[in-house]
């Protein structure tokens, strides 16, 4: 029966039953973490042979004779540019292989734009009294944190099932010169697992921003992170931008954090050759060269794009059952109650849920008090403010299946309890 159809007596009885069950779980004193999208230990283990690829010093020389143990090749070794360029569908002069974190590359890109501008800027972004970024929300909290850190005003843009609300994006960027960027996670978006439709990608490539130095920050973090036999695909944004003659408008980012090792993978930035050239010049002040040994280790281990895809199939084998468990438990526990909506993503690292309005913070609190850590409610919105206080990001990958099941029991009962409390006022 729908909770919203219950009369007061029924609701009171429901609430009491939930509270009793909740207190039983709480008494168990569990400690479970579903807060961040981290691979599980078993996922990390499958990549261990990567550490066996070097046998001697000669094996640390690239195909074109670069000794990876020494300085040089600021924009990355050509072997890595070939591999990751093929993965992202960009040429070797359209890619920079960075350090261990794409988030750091995004941070640096924003920082450089503030201090020096981007290609085509009339002046550095920090010369404006105020600049703004569009932030499709719910979105990735660390994107929003970069804006907040630099004092960039964030304008939330609603997400539709096929991507951000493009009517709003087109209108805002065409009217306001201080809107300098937009954050996008185009495939298996964090947290909703949405893939941008072809139409949305084309509309991005066709934007006519008032700011001539406007940039789309295209964070393709989950480009190969499929979970089903019917994976989603997105159009190549750089190709689409070339068709509209606007190839300088996009910065693409990706990394192997959730392919090989988070924090010890390889980060990638891509875009027009002209953009890459302007960035390389500024990057050269900051760094002599990134970790080429790690770049070559990745190339030798994966060999080619097929190697990456075969490796990702192993990840899928490990994490798809975790997503299945969460979705099955939501179906079994929640379907008839009409108090929770959720998505069934074809890939990525998250399941996004919406509670009844005004319940997300309470659910996270109840879970925390019973020993389950979730991402803070509101974190998926700019400034940590979810206007409807309803979105929660579930990250099922890190805990083992048995712990995940316990955590989800507590999650489900917390959602029920919070909804009953809300309806009872
Ligand atoms: C959308 C998105 N971008 C970037 C990152 C972080 O990537 P990296 O480890 O390359 O800094 C994450 C991690 O969760 C993410 O979800």
Q: What is the pLDDT of residues 40-60, one digit of tens each?
A: 999 999 999 999 999 999 999
pLDDT at 33 over 90: no
Tell me the mean pLDDT in the region 230-251: 98
Ligand 1, atom nearest to 36 Cα: 14
Mean local confidence (pLDDT), 171-186 = 98
**Measuring from atom 14 of ligand 1, which residue has the nearest CA?**
37
Q: Is the dihedral of CA 407, 187, 293, 55 positive or negative?
A: positive
Q: Is the pLDDT of residue 36 over 90?
A: no
Pocket flag, ligand 1, residue 103 (CB < 6 Å): yes
In tens, the pLDDT along 294-317 reads 999 999 999 999 999 999 999 999
Report the alpha-carbon distance of residue 241 to residue 89 in Å, rounded.
13
pLDDT of residue 200 exceeding 90? yes
CA of 417 to the centre of ligand 1 (A): 33
d(CA 278, CA 196): 29
Between CA 130 and CA 373 the distance in angstroms is 36
* Proportion of the chain above pLDDT 70, given as a percent: 100
Q: How far apart are CA 261 and CA 304, in angstroms?
A: 18
Measure the CA–CA gap between 200 and 166, rounded to whole angstroms.
7
Burial label for 123, CB within 10 Å (0-12, 13-18, 19+), is exposed
The CATH number given to 61-303 is: 3.40.640.10
User: In which band, very low, low, confident or very high, does the pLDDT at 30 lie, cut at 50, 70 and 90?
Assistant: confident
* Domain spans in the chain, listed from the N-terminal domain onward: 3-44+309-424, 61-303
Q: What is the pLDDT of residues 151-161, one digit of tens each?
A: 999 999 999 99
Atom of ligand 1 nearest to the CA of 262: 9
3-44+309-424 adopts what CATH topology? 3.90.1150
Q: Check pLDDT > 90 for residue 277.
A: yes
Site to substitute for ligand 1 among 43, 103, 263, most atoms within 8 A of C-beta:
103
Q: Each residue of 65-111: pLDDT tens digit?
A: 999 999 999 999 999 999 999 999 999 999 999 999 999 999 999 99
What's the chain's average pLDDT?
A: 97
d(CA 406, CA 402): 7
User: Can you read off the two tokens belonging to residue 131?
Assistant: 């600049």
* Mutational pocket test of ligand 1: of 97, 219, 319, the residue with most ligand atoms within 8 Å of the beta carbon: 219
Q: Is the CB of 267 under 6 A from ligand 1?
A: yes
d(CA 372, CA 353): 16
Ligand 1 site, residue 99, Cβ cutoff 6 A:
no
Is any ligand 1 atom within 6 A of the Cβ of residue 140? Answer: yes
pLDDT tens sequence across 118-146: 999 999 999 999 999 999 999 999 999 99
């Amino acid at each position: 029966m729908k909770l919203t159809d219950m009369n007061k007596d029924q609701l009171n009885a429901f609430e009491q039953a939930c509270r009793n069950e909740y207190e039983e779980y709480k008494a168990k004193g569990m400690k479970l973490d579903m807060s961040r999208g981290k691979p599980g230990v078993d996922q990390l283990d499958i990549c261990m042979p990567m550490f066996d690829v070097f046998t001697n010093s000669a094996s640390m020389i690239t195909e074109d004779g670069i000794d990876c143990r020494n300085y040089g090749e600021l924009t990355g070794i050509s072997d890595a540019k070939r591999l990751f360029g093929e993965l992202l569908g960009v040429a070797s002069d359209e890619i920079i292989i960075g350090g261990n974190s794409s988030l750091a590359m995004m941070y640096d890109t924003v920082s450089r734009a503030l201090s020096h501008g981007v290609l085509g800027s009339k002046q550095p972004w920090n010369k404006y009294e105020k600049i703004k970024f569009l932030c499709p929300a719910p979105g990735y909290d660390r994107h929003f944190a970069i804006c907040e850190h630099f004092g960039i005003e964030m304008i939330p843009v609603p997400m539709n099932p096929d991507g951000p609300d493009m009517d709003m994006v087109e209108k805002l960027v065409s009217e306001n010169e201080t809107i300098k960027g937009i954050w996008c996670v185009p495939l298996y978006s964090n947290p909703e697992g949405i893939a941008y439709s072809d139409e949305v990608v084309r509309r991005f490539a066709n934007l006519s921003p008032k700011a001539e130095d406007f940039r789309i920050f295209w964070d393709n973090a989950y480009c190969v992170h499929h979970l089903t036999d019917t994976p989603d695909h997105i159009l190549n944004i750089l190709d689409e931008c070339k068709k509209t003659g606007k190839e300088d408008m996009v910065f693409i980012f990706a990394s192997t954090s959730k392919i090989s090792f988070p924090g010890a993978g390889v980060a990638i930035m891509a875009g027009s050759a002209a953009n890459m050239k302007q960035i390389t010049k500024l990057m050269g002040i900051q760094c002599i060269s990134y970790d080429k040994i790690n770049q070559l280790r990745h190339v030798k281990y994966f060999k080619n794009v097929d190697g990456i895809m075969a490796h990702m199939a192993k990840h899928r084998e490990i994490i798809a059952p975790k997503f299945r468990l969460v979705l099955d438990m939501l179906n079994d526990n929640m379907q008839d109650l009409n108090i929770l909506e959720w998505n069934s993503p074809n890939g990525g690292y998250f399941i996004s849920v919406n509670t009844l309005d005004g319940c997300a913070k309470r659910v996270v609190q109840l879970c925390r008090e019973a020993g389950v850590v979730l991402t803070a409610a509101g974190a998926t919105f700019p400034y940590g403010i979810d206007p409807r206080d309803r979105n929660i990001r579930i990250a099922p990958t890190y805990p083992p299946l048995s712990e995940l099941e316990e955590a989800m029991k507590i999650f489900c009962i917390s959602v029920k309890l919070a909804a009953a409390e809300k309806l009872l006022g």
